[in-house]
Structure 1
């Protein structure tokens, strides 16, 4: 029984980390895409980075291709869909009432995009983590440290309130 459990754990960890170790012959490395929503009261339904789509938030989602060597003009074009009322109560799933209510509800979804610089990285990088911030701002990082650790470059807290008026860029 212990051998079966150990084998299952090894298989799961291989699948989860597989993308961040893949190397291509064209000078690119595959890495996981992750995201953290810092804005209280909104939901991120999904996002894409340079065309690589992730259907929601959560753990690593395979994959994005990053050059093995960082370049000064390296950019991340991020597109995302926001649910401004992620805790809305809809009729019972699968009913005609639900389908009608959901069709109306999803018209409130909002779509945004931003292009940001990908910070310099070296040999060690762990895919790309996108941070969704108030006022439709985003930051990205490739570091392997976890959010909230001392060396993690994005310091904004979670559950930030969206201001009444966002500053004009």
Structure 2
């Protein structure tokens, strides 16, 4: 019997990790003319990413972090200036946590995504917050670049974060 246990590996004797429902908050670090209007984590709709004050329920995380822990993030980028949008998807590692907390999804200027679980608020710039510490833009691009009445909906492009190549002035 001991040989059978050894052959199946140590993990076969460990109970499954307890899963915990956590709130999701998206932080939009993109330039002023871009925004994340919708995003999803493992299929859970998390609504709009913004300044960090809104939380949507819920994603599931293990009570204890484990190496290799990832989530599937899907998001849409709206380019209000160029009137375009694009959809993106990535498998993103969840950074190490000692205690499970709110799931903070950071959409960074370079196009990458960071996922942090923390009970500290990202927007308060707390020194112990494990995620990015750059200032969170306070923006409302839909007011800066309003859509005119009757104007067609935004067109889908490969990457709305790139400048339009249609010759419009910036």
- The alignment's TM-score, normalised by the length of structure 2, stands at 0.62
Does residue 118 (structure 1) correspond to residue 94 (structure 2)? The answer is: yes
Name the CA distance, whole Å, in 1 between partners of 2:111 and 2:35: 12
Task: Map Cα deviations across residues 98-145 of structure 1 (whole Å, 9 max, x no partner).
Answer: xxxxxxx6xx211112222111222x3222100011132111111111
- Cα distance, 1:149 vs structure 2: 1.0
Does residue 129 (structure 1) correspond to residue 94 (structure 2)? The answer is: no
- After TM superposition, the runs of 4+ consecutive aligned structure 1 residues lying more than 2 A away are 156-159
Q: Flag the structure with higher helix content.
A: 1
Name the CA distance, whole Å, in 1 between partners of 2:113 and 2:134: 11
Name the CA distance, whole Å, in 2 between partners of 1:135 and 1:84: 15
- Preserved CA contact (<8 Å) 1:127 1:142: yes
**Equivalent residue for 2:37?**
45
- Preserved CA contact (<8 Å) 2:103 2:116: yes
RMSD: 2.6
Does residue 150 (structure 1) correspond to residue 145 (structure 2)? The answer is: no
SS of the residue aligned with 1:135?
Answer: coil
Name the CA distance, whole Å, in 1 between partners of 2:117 and 2:129: 10
Q: Which runs of 5+ in 1 are unaligned?
A: 1-24, 89-104, 165-169
Q: Which runs of 5+ in 2 are unaligned?
A: 1-15, 138-160, 164-170
Name the CA distance, whole Å, in 2 between partners of 1:139 and 1:80: 13
- Cα distance, 1:35 vs structure 2: 0.8
Task: Map Cα deviations across residues 48-77 of structure 1 (whole Å, 9 max, x no partner).
Answer: 111111221351100001111211010021
Over alpha carbons, which structure has the higher Rg? 2
SS of the residue aligned with 1:70?
Answer: coil
- Preserved CA contact (<8 Å) 1:135 1:163: no
Name the CA distance, whole Å, in 2 between partners of 1:156 and 1:69: 27
**Equivalent residue for 1:54?**
46
Residues 6-21 of structure 1 mapped to structure 2, 5 A cutoff: none
